[in-house]
Amino acid sequence: MYFKRRSNDVLRGPGPMLEPMDIFKMREDGTYLWRGAAQNLDLAKSKVEQLAITAPGPYMIYSQITGEKTVFPLDAT
């Protein structure tokens, strides 16, 4: 399937769908390390809970759609 864009530019269909929620782990120095991505906030929260089992500490979920950041201070208990 081909989609015509402009004059002679041709696209070969849509590219891969990127997951819109990025998951980051906060490092001790305050920087963030990317740990994965998810399709929605509920799946991202679930991934954070799984990651925190072996690597407790604060995590951030960043929405590429809204720009909203959600921080989870998950510590070992």
38-56 pLDDT per residue, tens: 999 999 999 999 999 999 9
Q: What is the per-residue pLDDT for 73?
A: 86
Task: Specify the higher pLDDT residue, 12 or 45.
Answer: 45
CA distance to 4, 7, 38, 54, 67, per residue, from 57 (Å): 48, 52, 19, 10, 22
User: Around 65, how many Cα atoms within 13 Å sit in the side-chain half-sphere?
Assistant: 9
Report whether pLDDT(58) > 80.
Answer: yes
Beta strand 69-74 with 57-63 is antiparallel
pTM, whole model, 2 decimals? 0.72
